[in-house]
Chain A
């Protein structure tokens, strides 16, 4: 956690009344969006922070004028005979409050566009970790009603309702859906993207450190939608490689029966693991 982040987070708490303290929200796990655990979430977090500060300045500025005007010019018995002047407008002032917002919008637009373009590319990787697992990892994500299926095409592994990734390696999630639209969201690692039938959208995410981060669906898809959560387990590259090997050796093959079970609308009791991605 960078210090500037903590400062703004405490600012949020002041604004957000003491109720947040009541809820014990200073624990990072409660505010995943504001405690980014990877480069993607971090660049989004900085934009959130930046836009929040800019907007806060605007709010404060307007509030000062607002309270000044409504207290100073309030009708009182003393000013009963005051007849307000008929003012048509004031070109100078009107120009000022047109130009200032334009400047603010430009100031906001530049980093916005830069980051928007940056996020379609994989995050930069540290050299040390690339050696262990390779440059990046591709995982196909399919949203079923109402579960998440993760296929590792290169490793020939399929997991349901959890996904293991190596920390420090950019992961390319390729999102699709077998039915209704869902959104794949791991707030601590980065923003969401839709999983849609007949489409294949890319989402780059990366975890800084090993750890477990919760993900969920961000797009309503029917009665089981609220339960569409999954864990993202970031492991050290070595642990990840070990997990891949163990799984390939010990996990059962995906059977047609299991496949049907996954595709049938409903919830699963526990996460599943298979050592093949196509039903045998």
Chain B
């Protein structure tokens, strides 16, 4: 299979090389020496408080984001596929945030949190809610969740839509004729048939949230006082900020094992619930 060949050279091979690097002490400059140090890097990372703290941030962030993104994404998809007149326009509007990728997204949101929130706080008097979230260690994390949700909800919406449109209308109609109310139709018919979409969306949000980097860098840079430094950013800093290539790779491997364990369990569980027909 050609895809496997491409995939191997582009992803698997570099990953294996990366595993190799996790056992050396090296600054990342090809011309400079690599010293084999065995498991030293792995020992060191478990003593790295900052790395462990970033792990907690990432977990808190991921849980919050996972729930919000999927609830919103599902809600949006149900709304825009119900026969409301503005459905089609809304579908595009919900999806637009996704088009603003990467760094600029964070910059725009800085305007929202610094300028727009201040404005709202002054106008509404609710300045305990509307203040600059980015300088409060707790709220900065929520700010990240908000931005990530804003970006991802439209993304998952698309996948839920694909799933919903795969459900035969007759099923819904038949249920309606039988007198099932909306809630019953959703829980008995729609949700079970959406299982493949759930698998996919949960997984995509999980992996996206765990790997989050761009938004982190451009919105908070990990601040204030490292309160929002996530896994990927910690690893990136180790590799390119401090030039500790081996240690950074070791962190990446540990990170990968943890995330893989969590998400693969999730995929296997939800895959089992998928309806075959």
Answer yes or no: are A and B bound together in one complex: no
What is B's interface to A at a CB cutoff of 8 Å?
none
Binding site for B on A (CB under 8 A): none
